[in-house]
Amino acid sequence: MATETAADAAGHAAEAAHGSGGLPQLDFATWPSQIFWLAVAMVVLYYLMSRIALPRISETLEERADAIADDLDKADEFRRRAAEAEKAYEQALADARAKAQAIAAEARAEIQAQVDEALARADAEISARTAESEKRIREIRDEAAAAVVAVATDTAGALIDAILPEAQNAKAVAAAVKARA
């Protein structure tokens, strides 16, 4: 072994410098300094966390909680407004329906009054023509009665057509004239 080379000698010297060749943190001789620096690092970390990081995190959480509370308040306000708007809509709808029914009833009453007036005029004209015809032509009473009914039906139809064309109903006019004759 006398023929050791320079490289082998350098390798042995490096091994001797490292000591046992194990992990330095498991060397019991360095534990007190490791524990000291661990304590210092923990105190510094605790100080940084308690003075800088945790207040910022707490502040952020508080801001988020406030924002959420504000959003919930706004949502409640919008929900209340929506409920009020729905009530107003329902009231407006009910008012519109009532107004529409009143307008329809008024229109029906107006149309009925016009129809009654037209029928009254038609009845008056039929009665006048019938009386005149009976005075002049007593001997042809059957033929005159048929002519009067035809004239009355045409007249009532023309009057109704002139006053209310949409209410024209030839059967109803004929029935009304026949009932009055």
Tokens matching residue 164: 């209310």
**Is 2 a residue whose pLDDT tops 50?**
no
Inside any domain, residue 4: no
The answer to whether residue 78 is domain-embedded is yes
Per-residue model confidence as pLDDT tens digits over 159-169: 777 887 776 77
- Comparison of pLDDT for 22 and 2, the residue scoring more: 22
Number of independent structural domains in the chain: 1
Q: Is the pLDDT of residue 176 over 80?
A: no
Which one is predicted more confidently, 132 or 5?
132
7-21, 43-57, 105-119: least confident range: 7-21
DSSP state of 138: S
**In this structure, is residue 128 part of a structural domain?**
yes
Domain carrying residue 78: 57-180
In a domain, 38, yes or no: no
Alpha helix positions (H), 49-181: 54-136, 141-163, 170-180
pLDDT of residue 79 exceeding 60? yes
Measuring CA to CA, how many Å separate 51 from each of 9, 113, 115?
A: 55, 92, 94
Residue 156: which residues within 8 A CB-CB, separation 6 or more? Answer: 118, 119, 122, 126, 173, 176, 177
CA–CA dist 103, 34 (Å, integer):
98
Max distance between CA atoms of the chain, in angstroms, equals: 176
pLDDT of residue 156: 79
Average per-residue pLDDT for the chain: 83
